[in-house]
Amino acid sequence: MLVVRPAAPADLDHLLELAILSGPGFTSLPEDPDQLADRLEVSRDSFSGKLAPEERWYTLMLEESETGDVDGIGSVKAAVGLHRPFFSFRVVTNTQSSPSLGIKLEQKTLVLVNECTGWTEVGSLFLKADRRKGGAGRLLSQSRYMLIGAQPELFNENVLAELRGVFTPDGACPFWDHVAHKFFPMEFDEADRMTGSTDKQFIVDLAPRHPIYIDLLPEPARAVIGKVHPQGVPAMALLESEGFRPNGLIDIFDAGPTVACGRDNIRTVRDARRLTVAVSSEVEAELPALISTDSVTAFRAVRQRAHIEGDVATLNAETADALRVRPGDTVRVKA
């Protein structure tokens, strides 16, 4: 059975493997054991409540319960931009006209902004290639919203996600090569590493202070602005199905889009019901349901069959064991 559970420091080898598989541009999964170990400690302290709510960064692992294999990762960062700026480019449309000539022009520009301070971020969604079918990605993605819905007060009323921008098969990034690199004269991987491991002062020091006219950029850079990496297309579809939409912001390094949705308008947060657990040897249900615990501290999630009648969800013993719940406990269910 596939179970989504909190990450722990013992998951370092699993997390490093996923980071290597994720490839370039996946800022939240650097191929750095020290950074990943720190992240796992933050996740442990987030789930245990040792950190202040706004400091928490919850990391979730997708595990096959029978084998112990970890095949995917997702995360929820309670608040971005509180200690380090959360920079983006906003795509701004400027209109200019000359009535005497009968000419009206619309020029799009990129403007450096820091607009999302305090927002919650869902991210780090990545699965091994052989797990990208059969609903594993949807389970992992939706588990993040079940976590938010368990205790909404721990999260901001605005939720965002950043999608990785376009890279060529040989690992080149057109937007970086033609635009960002002009301001940050270093390798993409170095800028990516510094974004996750420093206070981002280098961005404050070096980023463009004036609008960049998109029409003046080389065509390869223009073509990828706001576009998603091919591996991110399924993730984008999952986000859109939950109600996320582009908000006009793009990443300053790879031009990948940012999407956003109100916390309480996220479909899974809104539609999941709190139900009381009953356990039976046989469960009659046509389709599996998304089921999670009703606690951030003890969070676990699965997609299994549940018979729902009134305010009671009847689970089989295997599902109850996977969630570590007993009869009379409360779970959240989205049919």
- Active site (catalytic) residues: 229
* H helical segments located in the chain: 12-22, 33-48, 136-150, 174-175, 181-183, 188-197, 201-206, 219-222, 233-241, 267-271, 317-323
Alpha-carbon distance values, 114 to 88, 163, 334 (Å) = 6, 17, 35
Q: What angle do CA 273, 277, 282 make, to 5 degrees?
A: 115
Enumerate residues 6+ apart whose C-beta is below 8 A from 174: 166, 168, 220, 221, 223, 224
Residue 207: burial class (beta carbons within 10 Å; 0-12, 13-18, 19+): middle
